[in-house]
């Protein structure tokens, strides 16, 4: 039997990089995809195959899938990890930026899934792993567009799970909590660009400070925690449909489930230091 093949997007750093390494250790032939292949050199040195791919470019995605199937003849795991956080007041964020957030976090993931499904259906096997966030179950102020993408990907994953089951294809959702990556700093920068001036400036200052503080806290889990969860999900005989893991994920999701909206509003507002 040839080695199983995995494709991991957003593999140049953080969760994607750790996941590519984990799947390689599990014996998969792993393709690590990113827009810039120069950032994939460390993965290449480990034996992971670098792949230039932009999840907002259909030709780029098609070429990547064609390369993988030509070289290995199969795709067993797709990890849709590429994404970023675009924060800012809903009123302030330009719609072009909002659309791009959805293009990367939602449409890129689903289009790539469309491209791998024919191969998985022909094999009668495969697993699609969609990395959402605890932010796909909870919400924070000034994060509406980001949370919207993650809520959307959660719903699409549920529908896909029902549709793909008949073909032997599984769908797993990974919901990271606080992870030690560049994400918080990038989200804070986006927030300040959109809302540091004007009506929402006091809120923006508080939330940006919270994002940067959380990004630098030692409480955050390492990316390997998410990589381990993905590794277990794709190798299990019958994986759970969802894996909430990483700092704060399970308790915050549980709290949202049991608390009334206004009570949860108050908890989150205090947590991020929102001005009264």
Please tell me the total number of residues recorded for the chain in this structure: 276
Domains of the chain: 5-271 (3.40.50.720)
Catalytic residue chosen out of the listed positions 28, 139, 146, 200: 146
| pLDDT above 90 for 276 | no
Q: What is the pTM of this model?
A: 0.95
Given a cut of 70, is residue 80 above it in pLDDT? yes
pLDDT tens column, 96-134: 999 999 999 999 999 999 999 999 999 999 999 999 999
pLDDT tens digits, 207-222: 999 999 887 778 899 9
Over residues 193-217, mean pLDDT: 91
Is 146 among the residues known to form the active site? Answer: yes
For the segment 20-57, what is each residue's pLDDT rounded down to a tens digit?
999 999 999 999 999 988 899 999 999 999 999 999 99
Query: 9's torsion region: left (phi>0), alpha (psi -120 to 50) or beta?
Result: beta
Helical packing angle, 108-123 and 144-164, nearest 10°:
10
Confidence check: pLDDT of 168 > 70: yes
């Amino acid at each position: 039997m040839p080695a199983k093949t995995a494709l991991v997007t957003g593999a140049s750093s953080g969760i994607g990089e750790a996941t590519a390494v984990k799947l390689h250790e599990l014996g998969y032939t792993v393709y690590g995809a990113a827009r810039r292949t120069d950032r994939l050199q460390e993965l290449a040195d480990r034996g992971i195959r670098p792949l230039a791919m932009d999840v907002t470019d259909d030709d780029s995605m098609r070429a990547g899938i064609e390369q993988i199937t030509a070289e290995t003849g199969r795709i067993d795991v797709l990890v849709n990890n590429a994404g970023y956080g675009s924060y800012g007041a809903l009123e302030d964020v330009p719609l072009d930026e909002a659309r791009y957030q959805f293009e990367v976090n939602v449409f890129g993931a689903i289009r790539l899934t469309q491209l791998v499904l024919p191969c998985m259906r022909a094999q009668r096997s495969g697993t699609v792993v969609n990395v959402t966030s605890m932010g796909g179950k909870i919400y924070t102020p000034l994060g509406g567009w980001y949370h919207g993408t993650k809520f959307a990907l959660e719903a699409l994953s549920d529908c896909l799970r029902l549709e793909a089951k008949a073909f032997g294809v599984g769908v797993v959702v990974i919901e990271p909590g606080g992870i030690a990556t560049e994400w918080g700093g990038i989200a804070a920068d986006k927030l300040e660009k959109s809302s540091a001036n004007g009506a929402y400036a006091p809120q923006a200052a508080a939330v940006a400070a919270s994002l940067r503080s959380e990004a630098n806290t030692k409480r955050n889990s390492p990316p390997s925690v998410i990589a381990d969860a993905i590794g277990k999900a794709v190798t299990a005989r019958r994986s759970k449909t969802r894996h909430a893991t990483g700092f704060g994920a399970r308790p915050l999701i549980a709290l949202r489930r049991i608390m009334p909206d206004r009570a949860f509003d108050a908890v989150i507002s205090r947590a991020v230091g929102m001005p009264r």
